[in-house]
Amino acid sequence: MNGPLCAGSSTMRACARIQGSQLRHVATRLQQGARRGVPVQAAAGEQTKQLQLPREGHMLISKTEVPSFIQRDDMMDQLLRWALIEANEGGLRNFGMPMKVQPTYSNETLWGFDIEVIKEGEKKADLGVNFDSDIALKHEWVGRDQDGFPTMEGNAEQVPGKYLEIWKLDPVKVDEDTRSTIRAFCNGLVIALNRYYAFGSVFA
């Protein structure tokens, strides 16, 4: 990831460079994985936290392009489940500080989640993980040009959410302990994302 708070940008960028037969293989695995669970949805009448995109005035820690064939609802549903288990329930054990995770929505669609990092009962940092408002183009199939390089072919479908972003949502400078916790969380998120791309599940 970019910036001083997180490491591993090359790992996240590598996730987006799956091409050719690998891309088709991963797409099949993700379609199979999407059928295994029911997406997290807001309960009827529940107050939901709505995203205001773009998140202007905040610090962008990192962003990575999400391949257009990825089902956004399934991907974010799984990342949220991972965050609820690993950060909300096990933040102190896994990342060094307690955390609170809250899902965020764009209209009625789960679009990300916010994280509070807590130290000695006080909030030390606010983070946000979400898709952006840009549009990706999803083509019908992957072909090859005359030089053998992959090309996107067929009709193009517009897919909202071109990039997955990580934001720092408050202007407060963090101490070294908080910085280490944020870095550990980001690295854990990268590992979960790698599992999702490889196996169709963040828990594989």
State pLDDT tens for residues 148-181. Answer: 898 888 899 999 999 999 999 999 999 999 999 9
CA distance 70 to 197: 9
Specify the DSSP element, H or E, that contains 93: helix 91-95
By CB neighbour count within 10 A (0-12 exposed, 13-18 middle, 19+ buried), where does 78 fall? buried
Place of tokens 């257009």: 68
Give how far the C-alpha of residue 87 lies from the chain's centroid of Cα atoms, to the nearest Å: 14
Q: Is the pTM of this model over 0.95?
A: no
Is the CB of residue 81 less than 8 Å from the CB of residue 26?
Answer: no
Residue among 127, 115, 123 at smallest CA distance from 87 = 115
Give the number of other CB atoms < 10 A from CB of residue 69.
18
- Is 61 part of any domain? yes
- Is 204 part of any domain? no
Task: Quote the domain boundaries for residue 59.
Answer: 9-39+53-199
Share the mean pLDDT of the chain: 83
Q: What is the pLDDT of residue 124?
A: 97
The letter for the amino acid at 12 is M
Query: Considering its fold, how many domains does the chain have in total?
Result: 1
- Is 163 part of any domain? yes
Q: Is the pLDDT of residue 103 over 90?
A: yes
Q: Is the pLDDT of residue 125 over 70?
A: yes
- Is 47 part of any domain? no
- Is 113 part of any domain? yes
CA distance 185 to 204: 18
- Is 2 part of any domain? no
Q: What is the pLDDT of residue 27?
A: 46
- Is 45 part of any domain? no
- Is 44 part of any domain? no
Q: What is the pLDDT of residue 3?
A: 44
Q: CA–CA distance from 116 to each of 20, 61, 125, 151 (Å)?
A: 39, 15, 6, 42
Place of tokens 């790992």: 11
pLDDT, average across residues 62-88: 96
